[in-house]
Each structure stands twice: as structure tokens, then as C-alpha cells.
Structure 1
Amino acid sequence: MTRRVWIFDLDNTLHNASAHVFPHINRSMTEYLQQHLQLDEQAANALRMHYWQRYGATLSGLMRHHGTNPDHFLWHTHQFPDLERMVLREPRLRHVLKALPGRKVVFSNAPRHYAHAVLRLLRIEGQFDDVMAVEQTRYRPKPDSFGFMRLLRRHRLKAAQCVMVEDSTENLQAAKKLGMHTVWVTTETRKPPYVDVKVRNVMELPRAMSRLD
């Protein structure tokens, strides 16, 4: 494949967000729903989960059913007074990314301010040609094809040039439908047909490159 372009998800792909970051975001979103929809904690948490499962993002459900301002929601739910301690950095990640031939883009459902803050803490911000956050998809997060198509147009790419590196099977399935190559970051043993290559973490990518050709 010529002129390969790597498209990386951020959370649970380039770093482990499950340990500290995701629990914090989940609590912040539940608190937001409590405050702005006048719900108790149990009802707010259930609604957060329901919208996430139904639409792929809590924000999508809030915009659709409650007219929530997306910037207001994203700002208030992505405040991290102690983000430096919460982001788990792999010291060799920068070296691994530099070893991958081709352009690199981050494509995340997270807001722009958070994505850039995490990349700075991981010390890899300079490795990417672009960071496409949820604002650039007009708040239509993956797996919605709108964001994928916007990224392709923005960088004048064909899907066949791209390798989508993700932890989410739904997002990989959407990428594969468009004609992208797919890498699933997971410890699971199964390998769905829309996954080309499976790695336990992104540190294995240089060794896995030959399997993408």
C-alpha cells in the first residue's frame, strides 16, 4: 500500500484511559445530567449509559432529546485538575510512532482541548499531522460515517490509503465499510472479519505492519 496514512483513536488506543480518565469522565457526565436535567444520581447514570449504548456517545442523546449545548457539555465534563497524574505514559511510544512510515492523524470522539492536553502529556503531539476532535465532526462522533468522510476530504485521502487503529469494534466496522485497513487494539482472542490485524497495544504496530500489505 502506497502513501499509508495512520488514523489513531486516542483513549484506550494511544494510552490507557480506563484506569483513571474514563471513571472521572463518567462521574462528570453523571453529575452534569443530575444538575441540568434535575435527576438523582441513579437516574442520571442510567440515562448516561442508555445514550452511550444507543448513540455511541452520551452527548448525541443529550443533543437529540434535550437540546444540550455541546460545547458547554464537553467543557464541563472534561475538566481534569490532575490530568498529569491520570494519564499513563508509555516512554517508548514516541519512538514507536516515529518508526511507522507515513502520515499520522488522531481521530477522537473527545473534545479538542482534552485531546491536545493528553497528547502533550504523552509527549507525542508533534508526531501527528492533525488532531480531529468531535468539534470537527459537527458533534457526530464515530461510528457515524460523517466524521470519517470529513477526515478523508480534509486531507484529500482515499480510504484504501488509511489504517484505522482503534479499540472500538463499532468504529473499526465503520472504517472497514469505507474501505480502510483496520487494526484492533485489544486483548480479546476473537478476530471479527472487519479486523485486518489485532495487536495487544500500539507498541506492537511496527512488527505488525507486514500483515497490513
Structure 2
Amino acid sequence: MKHPLPHPDRVDCWVFDLDNTLYSPSECDIPDQMEAAISAFIQRHLGVSADEADRLRSVWHGRYGMTLGGLIAECRADPHDYLEETHRLDLSSLRPSPRLQRLIAGLPGRRLIHTNATTAHAERVLDRLGLSAYFEAVFDVEAAGLLPKPDPEGYRRLLARHAVDPRRAVMVEDMARNLVPAAASGMTTVWLRTERPQGARGLDPAAVHHVADRLEDWLAAVTG
């Protein structure tokens, strides 16, 4: 993880995860809402108890990268129903950061979102954070063929669809395991550590080139 900071002039594309990356999960209730919505979906569609729904949510997230993977593979659930029902979130707890807005706006090159959520959810979050104008596109789980991060195929589709040269791209992500395919493709990676223990699951130090505890501070260090 001891790599020199990327020089902005040598980066053509900045790829950011969305949830728990562009905002701190400790400063809002979005993660709690999301987990509750997912567990409620499992309860309704599988007819299991709340405790069992929570258990399945955690197991499938760990096994497949997101709970949807388990619902598709093991229960043949309708992915579109899942995505629609689990992203009806109240975003009022999100607070825009003028500093983050300035730093992202000042990054040279293109900026993309790569998320396991939907484009509609991403657009709502970006709008709430005042960041919509600074991103060229959102690459969501449906664009990835319902193959959530860290499935390498989703990364290949991202690079191909948006003509990204991975050797001149940086990926910022709060889930360490999601950086493994990014690093393998040639991208420079940044692991944004949060208070959420699941962020460290699947950590491969060789795939993490930089570690940041606060996104704004890392971007400020890069841009000088």
C-alpha cells in the first residue's frame, strides 16, 4: 500500500463508488435504512422471520457482493422488484459538503460512478450532495448485467462502455474487496476506510494502493 500519490495530470478518469464513499456512513442514516429495506424485502418474498432475513442478508452480501446476488442465485427473485423496493430511501440525512464539491470539480479528466445500486438512486444521491454536475455518467448494477462488484465482468463492462484506459484511471471505494478486480485491471486504487467492519472484508493489501480515512483529505493531498 506504499505507492506515491497519483499525479492528477496522469489520470484521465476518476471512478468513484457511491454509497458510503461520497458520504460518510457515520454521518447519516442511509446504511441503516438500506439494511432495513433489504431485510424487509427478504421477509416479504421468502416468508421468513426478521432474524432469518437479517442473517440471509449478511450471508449473501458476503458471498455474492450484494444481497441481490443471493436472491437471484438461490431464490430466483425478480432483481428489478428488489432494486425498486430497496432503494426507496429518505435522503434527508445527507448533507452536502462544499469542500468535497470543490475538490471533485477540480479533478482533471473524466469522473464516473460505479455502483451496485441503481442509476435512479445514484442520481438522487448526487443531486442531494450537490455533485451531479461533476460526473459524466453512472455505471450501475444493471449496466453490469446484474453482476455486482466485485465480479470482474462488471469492471470489464465499465471499462469497455466508457472507453477507460485502466492504466490512467483511479478507483475510490469503501469496500476493500471491490478493489481487487480494479487493481488487476491496472487501475490505481484507493480504499476509503469507514467505521463499518464489512468494509475490510476480503482485504488484499496488494490490491490497495492508497488508504484514506476521509475522502476530502485524500483528494486535497492529491490535488495539492
TM over 0.5: same fold?
Answer: yes
* Residue 174 (structure 2) aligns with: 167
Would you say 1:21 and 2:30 are equivalent positions? yes
Counterpart-to-counterpart distance in 2, 1:129 and 1:160: 19
Instruction: Identify if the C-alpha distance between structure 1 residues 109 and 192 changes in structure 2 by more than 3 Å, giving closer, same or farther.
Output: same
1:91, CA displacement in angstroms? 2.3
| Paired residue type of 2:215 | V
Q: 1:183 aligns with which of 171, 190, 200?
A: 190
Query: Structure 1 regions of 5+ residues with no counterpart?
Result: none
| Paired residue type of 2:121 | Y
Q: 2:79 aligns with which of 59, 70, 92?
A: 70
Query: Are the counterparts in 1 of residues 159 and 165 from structure 2 also a CA contact under 8 Å?
Result: yes
| TM-score (normalizing by structure 1) | 0.91
Counterpart-to-counterpart distance in 2, 1:37 and 1:196: 41
Which segments of structure 1 move beyond 6 Å, counting only runs of 4 or more?
A: none
Would you say 1:205 and 2:214 are equivalent positions? no
1:89, CA displacement in angstroms? 2.4
* Residue 35 (structure 1) aligns with: 44
* Residue 129 (structure 1) aligns with: 136
- Give the SS at the match of 1:139: coil
> Percent of aligned pairs with the same residue?
35
Q: 1:195 aligns with which of 208, 211, 223?
A: 208
Cα RMSD of the aligned pairs, angstroms, is 2.0
**Structure having greater relative contact order (Cα 8 Å, sep ≥ 6):** 2
Counterpart-to-counterpart distance in 1, 2:207 and 2:223: 18
1:173, CA displacement in angstroms? 1.5
| Paired residue type of 1:148 | Y
Deviations 1:119-170 (A, max 9, x none): 0000111101111111111110111111111111112222111100111110
The residue correspondences of 1:21-170 to structure 2 (distance < 5 A) are: 21-80=30-89, 82-83=90-91, 85-170=92-177
Query: Are the counterparts in 1 of residues 11 and 170 from structure 2 also a CA contact under 8 Å?
Result: no
Query: Structure 2 regions of 5+ residues with no counterpart?
Result: 1-8, 196-202
| TM-score (normalizing by structure 2) | 0.86
* Residue 16 (structure 2) aligns with: 8
How many residue pairs are counted as aligned between the two chains?
208
1:38, CA displacement in angstroms? 0.7
Query: Are the counterparts in 2 of residues 13 and 201 from structure 1 also a CA contact under 8 Å?
Result: no
1:207, CA displacement in angstroms? 3.6
